[in-house]
Structure 1
Amino acid sequence: MSIDDCITILTVRGVTLEAGLSPTEIIGVEERFGFEFNPDHRRLLETVQPTGERWLDWRNDSPASIEARLAWPLEGILFDVEHDSFWPSTWPKKPDTRAEQFQIAADRIATWPMLVPIFAHRYLPAHPFSGGAPVFSVWQSDVIVYGNDLVDYFLHEFGPVDVQRIGSAPDVGPDICRPWSLLAFGSDVVD
């Protein structure tokens, strides 16, 4: 994955790019919000901070706004649990009360890889997921692989542009970032 390719795509599409975050700023974000950026996301943010509508601005957005974006995947799945459209077959028998349902769902999802927002409802898995991580579009329990890696995602979201892809990640399969990738492939067996 090339950060230069990412920057080219974003520049061509008119995304405002501010100076990258300093190592101190990145560590501060990670410590405050309880995760580590995966290597690709970290390299992008060390180089540039995309800003504007629907971008998460790690330097200037309020802590409450960042926390809401981090909570979006869990809250969306809990919404689907509440409205009876989501209860995987691998989970225990569905309890009768919403409180018990929410507790089981929250406990299960807490074991899943944390997703970190990039743009709108597009997310990368946090570290320890390695570089070349897929980008997911997450809308409640509707999860889509929106890019095989960060460059592929930017091409899908902001392209097409004339960018040479060198060393692109292979197509993502259902096991690359379980259980998020299993949801993306329509599996009822998520964990």
Structure 2
Amino acid sequence: MCARDIPREKMPSRRKTSLHCLLGTLLIDIPQNCIKEFQVHLNTSSSDVLQEGQEVSMQCAHDLPPLDLAFEWQKNGQTLADQRESSIALRVFTSSRGRYRCVVRSPCGNLTSDHHQLDVSNSVTLIFVLCGVFAVVLMLCLGLAMKYKMKKDVGDQKRKREQRALNLHRIPGNAQLTHP
């Protein structure tokens, strides 16, 4: 392994070929040709195309020594605010589409994972189709209800006219309704 713990009292002189990182009472000596041996990987819970509303978790895996580490998450090169843990969980939407990566910041340097492309299928078309079908069904139901109501109202009005006409014939002394 390239990193080794050296007690502070046995600290070697600084060489251009090494990166020295102090952590408490330990000095970690990491030769420059070794810094590339440390790796950071981005592991995700799903590699397929996700549907809107699904949840995905991403983990920043690394083989750095146990130093004072800080994590940063980026989407399309922009730092995600309030994402400072080694793993994140996201509920995805079409706006979540993009290239994600994690950055591990340590006293010995910063390491960045490869990008992970997060693809989210657009279910807006499905929503529009479902809303359209629902609207057509609703209009048909309202139309049938209005037809039934109008038919009932026309029948009620016809009965009321007939009743009124019968009542006028029965009124005694009504001279207008003497025709047979």
Which has more strand, going by share of residues? 2
Which TM-score applies when normalising by structure 1?
0.21
Q: Which has the higher contact order (CA 8 A, sep 6+)?
A: 1
Which TM-score applies when normalising by structure 2?
0.22
Which has more helix, going by share of residues? 1
